[in-house]
Structure 1
């Protein structure tokens, strides 16, 4: 008996889905563990072998001119204030009137449910469909994601972490192929998806198909030393940027006063020191050959300097055991002056500490180890990718129209509503800037930014000085940014084993830096990393690179 292509495709997906579910169940969710190595890009999950499909055409939206334009690719645009009287750029509701389900993580407190959430209700009126959102905290999301995939309980819209094991198989088994809608000029039907940064799209392409839309981050996630400029200036330091490692040590010593319960650093500045030395950002590539940062002479030099920094007593002695939240509290309290974090965190220090009126945040540039300029690392291109259930009852064009609505950029009325809610209810205007109310703080964070999002803008309501400073820092760094050479390339071994492999090396590194082991402990761990999977990852990356670049 003959079968249609449709029935064959359904059978194929059923077989694939069973294999993926079995793999996830057998691993108990451990395959979804996040890579937590220093400087982990979160990239490298896209573009399987033979990924020859055209990526979406970039078409910039110029409706809202920035106060601080991006001077080079990768930079974020900056705005002193939100434009007054922003207009709607999407008149027709993108939904189809039917319930749409979505699964996501939530970085803050879980907001009120739909029946008690006026923002959620207003959103549904805007998009023209009820939106059922299954939310989990950041800490719980990956295990719940694994459980639902293994059980075949897949929503219409799915926030997929980029470090999921066997991601191409998962996408093939469970998600819509969006190639015909997004490849090349086809994306122009969705102008705000076409406006997303070009470097975000390789994460969505596998085995010659486009399976997802990206949730872009880019340079907003570039990390360097964030510091309390008010404290350095109070110490008589007019310009904190060091010119070399020796200058850096002197700066740290100057800002450390254990007797006053203050240390220069909330965390060991490992990544910053590596950037001074010019190590690769995870993987480097030359002539198609890949080298991990662990394997370089520069890494050994950087470790010597890390040991010296720890021995100098300029890092909080609890740095290796305290949580990230505790370290941010040290910065707010002045117990620490420097912490390695991103432009996103820069704003968060202000929004989380409104009573610290003297607070002024800045970010150090990266010097060369012995002078000159160092090599800062480009932030992760994306936070996550978003795919659609292959068995959804919604037209793919409806789901893409919703993603396009969620990507309306800064300066539009849609962006203002999406990020801040309803005027007079979820925010009040100070000039043209939205200032969240208590209700807005409670209700608005329902995870819409993980369906899709515009490229991040440098902006903080009521603080025009902050985007100006941030833009100046980005402009100094952008031409020197180093990217992870594995970004956009898929390695099966990396997808399954990277967290465990790099975790073991980083554990050894931490022991060496704290003086609990000799450098041979690190080099032995790197040898084990190679034989246990590092060499296999290298081979797979080189194969994917050759297929991509011919």
Structure 2
């Protein structure tokens, strides 16, 4: 089971009775539920006994750029004749409710939204969606759980504290419908690689369907190809931190209100030094990325970058949306982000046709090759409420429809909407209209989804660049060794303790505290919960090894 951050515990009786206050149920860092795990129901032995869904890759659409177990499939254009892969409407005629976050602006309501109306027609059930922005979702999620009246489908972040308790009390165990070959009834759920299902196993059962990310969330420096080209720089490939810093200084131009970086790239420097991706396991012992000695060198190097003025001076007070605007607007040349963000930048491009993005590999700090971090496996899981007035089979059929992959007609509709209104065709490529961008953003991708496809309409070079860098980094990826293991202490305390360390990190790189202060901060992290996390992860790992 996945490791997850904290929340304050309350009595199990209060939770199961539906009497939580909103303050007692949060997603990141403050109080939540008493763990069912403490009762022994959510044990490593019980979870490891679960047979995960049998993976069967969908063969109905052939990519232009092949996938591997790590590299995503790429497409240079949308297939001219998309496969209509699902013939029957998955719904049962009754309204289906869904709670989710959305990354963009709140779209028009169903009564004023032709796309939403078309979705309802295709599903065969009206889909009622309660949505909030990414920033507001933790509060909305907490309030909904506290009220005790969950919608039929619930987008649950992996960082939800003491998640086993919530799932066991309120959500269906899906094991008999999905375990092993049973998933074959839902071919697009079977098309989701087995690795992603590990994050859906709690209380000795499968308690949700995954929204996969993995490689698509792997983060390295995205850079503005057009801005570097204007400086005479093509295909930058620094071979060490020193060369990387020289590159940053070369593109930095504060007099023209342009900086190399949107924010200090501390984690990129950590990858140069081979520091762990969250937790590393060797011989059954777990080591936190924070406690590795190389952090001192990473912090000193990043402090040098800030002192050199290559980071936007407003970086420490700006939010993520502001930093994205800097990158799109040419205020910054580099941004540490993922393949998902790469596509989002094209979607929100304000620089015109010249706009182009690529990604840097990670060199070793003093030469050689660095160790890129594999992205988090899941965006969220979607659980099915026990209170739902639909059969589990109906809700799984809806999830299966949402997971139809790139190249199918279902995917084309789900992602782009209605031809003529929401997109126009350029050749075989769907190009979103302004209306399409507004009306299609209702959060369907968070019910369930296929692995991301590398593709951008009308720009085959985007998929080629993305596929090329993924092939380059794939053999060197570091994985988080805590994924698939559950630590109750991590669930309750990790977010709070890591936030304290992030604050210390920010003070160090700004020159407000000495690099040496990191050691004391890590000692506090370990004494206040890190050591217990290590012990619990080691036990869970040992249980897995004995199976």
* TM-score tier after normalising by the smaller chain length: over 0.9
**Which residue of structure 1 aligns with residue 60 of structure 2?**
63
3-state DSSP class of the match of 1:489? coil
Question: Is 2:148 the counterpart of 1:152?
Answer: yes
Alignment RMSD (CA, Å): 2.0
**Which residue of structure 2 aligns with residue 6 of structure 1?**
none
Q: For 1:339-378, what aligned pairs fall within 5 Å after superposition?
A: 339-378=335-374
Partner Cα separation in structure 1 for residue 543 and residue 301 of structure 2: 39
Match of 1:52 among 32, 37, 49: 49
**Which residue of structure 2 aligns with residue 302 of structure 1?**
298
Q: Deviations over 1:261-312 (max 9, x none)?
A: 2221111010110000000011111111100011111222212211222222
- Name the CA shift for 1:27/1:531 in 2 (closer, same or farther; >3 Å): farther
Is the 8 Å Cα contact of residues 20 and 170 (structure 1) preserved in structure 2? Answer: no
Is the 8 Å Cα contact of residues 127 and 402 (structure 1) preserved in structure 2? Answer: yes
**Which residue of structure 2 aligns with residue 382 of structure 1?**
378
Of residues 491-500 and 460-469 in structure 1, the stretch that sits farther from structure 2 once superposed is 491-500
Q: CA deviation at 1:548?
A: 2.0
Partner Cα separation in structure 2 for residue 25 and residue 440 of structure 1: 35
Is the 8 Å Cα contact of residues 284 and 291 (structure 1) preserved in structure 2? Answer: yes
Q: Deviations over 1:227-254 (max 9, x none)?
A: 0122222222233111111111111111
Q: CA deviation at 1:190?
A: 0.7
Match of 1:92 among 83, 88, 93: 88
Partner Cα separation in structure 2 for residue 146 and residue 123 of structure 1: 28
Q: CA deviation at 1:17?
A: 7.3
Q: Deviations over 1:197-255 (max 9, x none)?
A: 22211110013210000001111111100001222222222331111111111111111
Question: Is 2:491 the counterpart of 1:495?
Answer: yes
Partner Cα separation in structure 1 for residue 101 and residue 108 of structure 2: 15
Match of 1:135 among 131, 135, 141: 131
Q: Deviations over 1:311-340 (max 9, x none)?
A: 222111111111222222222232211110
**Which residue of structure 1 aligns with residue 268 of structure 2?**
272
Q: CA deviation at 1:383?
A: 0.7
- Name the CA shift for 1:32/1:310 in 2 (closer, same or farther; >3 Å): closer
Q: Deviations over 1:428-461 (max 9, x none)?
A: 1111111122321221111111111111101111
Is the 8 Å Cα contact of residues 456 and 463 (structure 2) preserved in structure 1? Answer: yes
**Which residue of structure 2 aligns with residue 333 of structure 1?**
329
Q: CA deviation at 1:519?
A: 2.2
Partner Cα separation in structure 1 for residue 138 and residue 43 of structure 2: 19
Is the 8 Å Cα contact of residues 235 and 255 (structure 1) preserved in structure 2? Answer: yes
- Name the CA shift for 1:280/1:20 in 2 (closer, same or farther; >3 Å): farther
- Name the CA shift for 1:217/1:50 in 2 (closer, same or farther; >3 Å): closer
Is the 8 Å Cα contact of residues 27 and 159 (structure 2) preserved in structure 1? Answer: no
Is the 8 Å Cα contact of residues 362 and 469 (structure 1) preserved in structure 2? Answer: yes
Of residues 379-388 and 488-497 in structure 1, the stretch that sits farther from structure 2 once superposed is 488-497
Question: Is 2:463 the counterpart of 1:460?
Answer: no
Partner Cα separation in structure 2 for residue 21 and residue 283 of structure 1: 35
3-state DSSP class of the match of 2:294? helix
Q: Which structure 1 residue ranges, 5 or more long, are not aligned?
A: 1-13, 35-44
Q: CA deviation at 1:382?
A: 1.2
Partner Cα separation in structure 2 for residue 426 and residue 256 of structure 1: 39
Q: For 1:181-260, what aligned pairs fall within 5 Å after superposition?
A: 181-260=177-256
